[in-house]
Structure 1
Amino acid sequence: MALNFHQLHIFFTVADRGSFSAAAQALHMTQPAVTMQVQSLEDYFGTKLLLRSTKRIELTEAGRALMPFAQQSIALIRETDATMSKFTRQLKGRLQLGASLTIGEYILPRLLGPFGQEFPHISISMKVMNTGQIMEEILNHQLNFGLVEAPVNHPDMHMEAVMSDELKLIVPAAHPLADRKDVMLEEALAYPFVLREQGSGTRLVMEELLRERQLDPSKLNIVMELGSTGAVKSAVEAGVGVSFVSASSVKHEVALGLIKVVPLMDARFKRQFFSIYLKSALLPISAVTFLTFLRERDLQQWL
């Protein structure tokens, strides 16, 4: 019997999840199949790797020694897939992903066309929802991966920056700042604001960037909180207040003269968009290809 990656991946997932049942769920396998593969790996090495108990499995000394190699093998397979995806043009399959609201409504629709032209045999199914819902569906194995606007902190989740973006100050067309060449940040913050709801990726990033400049987000005069970027833009257009939104989300309104983007003289609100997926998961090659496309293409030509 030869050592194989599949068994190392299963062993790592069992150790990482702490039980055979949790690993079986994560790997979409039956629990007996997971147990059999770990036993085969133990037979190969001639030693026990895991100690089974009623509460949680524990690694033996041999298991602890094997863990970093199993982890490295997973990383190597991911790196191999990413490298080889650049040479693949005849991929077939269905790609399921979740995207937070700004990404799903304004960014990805402009990128899916160019991606589809390059990889015409990959069909994409995208769910647009908030970051918390995306994480929940990934953890429940309903989605392969997600694209979100703010960093996430979860012990089971791998996170990687794949795109960049910039938040811009937008004001109504008749606003006192509308015809200004630029404006100081603190001057802009004195006006009433329309913002996304608490917990949205855009809101989290904006508040964090303000804190980095020693400004307290709670001091903003927030006159309205809304559940989508589209609603925020409509409120700004109607003169309710000003806001910070992704530059890609207001091109249409700016072109029509409905909203003005006012450059900030002393600040730039740059941010990253992140891909997230389970640490124990190996993404299908279609997903790896899509993420490689996002990382390595000049996306601004389409945005």
Structure 2
Amino acid sequence: MNFHQLHIFYKVSEKGSFSAAAQALHMTQPAVTMQVQALEDYFGAKLFNRSTKKIILSDAGRTLLPFAVRSIELMRQTDQAMAAYTHMLEGRLLLGSSLTIGEYVLPRLLAPFGKAYPNISVMLKIMNTTQIMEEITKHQLNFGLIEAEVRHPDMEIEPVMEDELKLIVPHDHQLADRSEVTLSEALEYPFVLREQGSGTRRVMEEQVLDRGIDLGGLQVEMELGSTGAVKSAVEAGLGITMLSPSTVRHEAALGLLKIINISDASFKRQFYAIRLKSTLLPIHAVTFLNFLRQHAGE
């Protein structure tokens, strides 16, 4: 018996067929069947009851399944614990991310990661959450980084980075000389916001609602479909906004925009890693995730 066989057994039980498991594991169906049979020979018991239409776990299979699940989780924990020592890793990391993470958060982290792990190459694709999930399911990405928590029966999602929205105003705005303001003070001014449904917009609106403030009272001067467009509109004096400070580092350094704290409300949010439950991440992907956890706040 070995871990590979337990992983294959788990995948067959999850998918309900040898052919579906073989496709998910990028193996041939005979190879999957052979590994399951080897496991059955080891235990001297049938693990599946087979019929022409489907396969279901036998009593022995139901007994084995929780141990297989635990072995997969233990292997994941082992990879995570050992990732800190594997500086000579090689590999190609296929990563998908949502726009804010891909354009504003990851670029400043990829350079130090490349210095620490020069033999790991990162291929980053920026797309929406639905596209990321589709490509993970097709094994075209190792994992994805997204801005909002989602639910999917085949996916595991975990928080890896924390972010917080701040008030962003033009350099010559009436609030620009303040280091912090209250939420009610900020809401006295017209806003330029991302479109309805965006993660950034949702975080802001949820906090406003939690404070008992009617969203109809927001003075929304303009709705725009990208963070870059919002920044340009605010810089031009068309309104103020709520954005992650990571998205306005350059403009703030040049004195074009001012970042202001809101003293009586917190606009914190999580960024999440998403991957297939039944597929072990390669060790270089685990290493990258650990690196994000350790350095995201820097």
Same fold (TM over 0.5): yes
Say if 1:207 and 1:22 are closer, same or farther in 2 by CA, change over 3 A: farther
How many residue pairs end up in the alignment? 298
- Cross-structure match for 2:297: 300
- Cross-structure match for 1:178: 176
Measured in 1, the distance between the counterparts of 2:41 and 2:49 equals 15
Measured in 1, the distance between the counterparts of 2:234 and 2:82 equals 46
Q: Residue 162 of structure 1 aligns to a residue in which SS?
A: strand
Measured in 1, the distance between the counterparts of 2:60 and 2:206 equals 44
The TM-score, its normalising length taken from structure 2, stands at 0.92
Extract unaligned runs of 5+ from structure 2: none
Measured in 2, the distance between the counterparts of 1:183 and 1:77 equals 48
Query: Over residues 69-103 of structure 1, what are the superposed CA-to-partner deviations in whole Å (9 max), with x where a residue is unaligned?
Result: 11100011111111111111111111110111111
Task: Write out aligned runs for 1:1-303 (5 A).
Answer: 3-53=1-51, 56-217=54-215, 220-295=218-293, 297-301=294-298
Q: Residue 27 of structure 2 aligns to a residue in which SS?
A: coil
Say if 1:261 and 1:45 are closer, same or farther in 2 by CA, change over 3 A: same
Give the counterpart letter for 1:300 in structure 2: G
Structure 1 residue 55: Cα displacement: 5.0
Measured in 1, the distance between the counterparts of 2:50 and 2:204 equals 47
Tell me if structure 2 keeps the 8 A contact 1:97–1:145: yes
Measured in 2, the distance between the counterparts of 1:77 and 1:51 equals 28
Measured in 2, the distance between the counterparts of 1:135 and 1:192 equals 36
Q: Residue 7 of structure 2 aligns to a residue in which SS?
A: helix
Measured in 2, the distance between the counterparts of 1:60 and 1:40 equals 16
Extract unaligned runs of 5+ from structure 1: none
Say if 1:40 and 1:190 are closer, same or farther in 2 by CA, change over 3 A: farther
Q: Residue 181 of structure 2 aligns to a residue in which SS?
A: coil
Q: Residue 95 of structure 1 aligns to a residue in which SS?
A: strand
**What is the identity percentage for the equivalent residue pairs of Structure 1 and Structure 2?**
67
Q: CA RMSD in A?
A: 2.0
Tell me if structure 2 keeps the 8 A contact 1:131–1:201: no
Say if 1:271 and 1:27 are closer, same or farther in 2 by CA, change over 3 A: same
Measured in 1, the distance between the counterparts of 2:40 and 2:222 equals 60
Measured in 2, the distance between the counterparts of 1:138 and 1:14 equals 19
The TM-score, its normalising length taken from structure 1, stands at 0.90
Say if 1:266 and 1:34 are closer, same or farther in 2 by CA, change over 3 A: same
Say if 1:58 and 1:213 are closer, same or farther in 2 by CA, change over 3 A: farther
Tell me if structure 2 keeps the 8 A contact 1:163–1:294: yes
Structure 1 residue 118: Cα displacement: 0.8
Structure 1 residue 290: Cα displacement: 0.7
Query: Over residues 48-82 of structure 1, what are the superposed CA-to-partner deviations in whole Å (9 max), with x where a residue is unaligned?
Result: 22233455432222222111111100011111111
Query: Over residues 95-143 of structure 1, what are the superposed CA-to-partner deviations in whole Å (9 max), with x where a residue is unaligned?
Result: 1101111111111110111111111111111011122221121112110
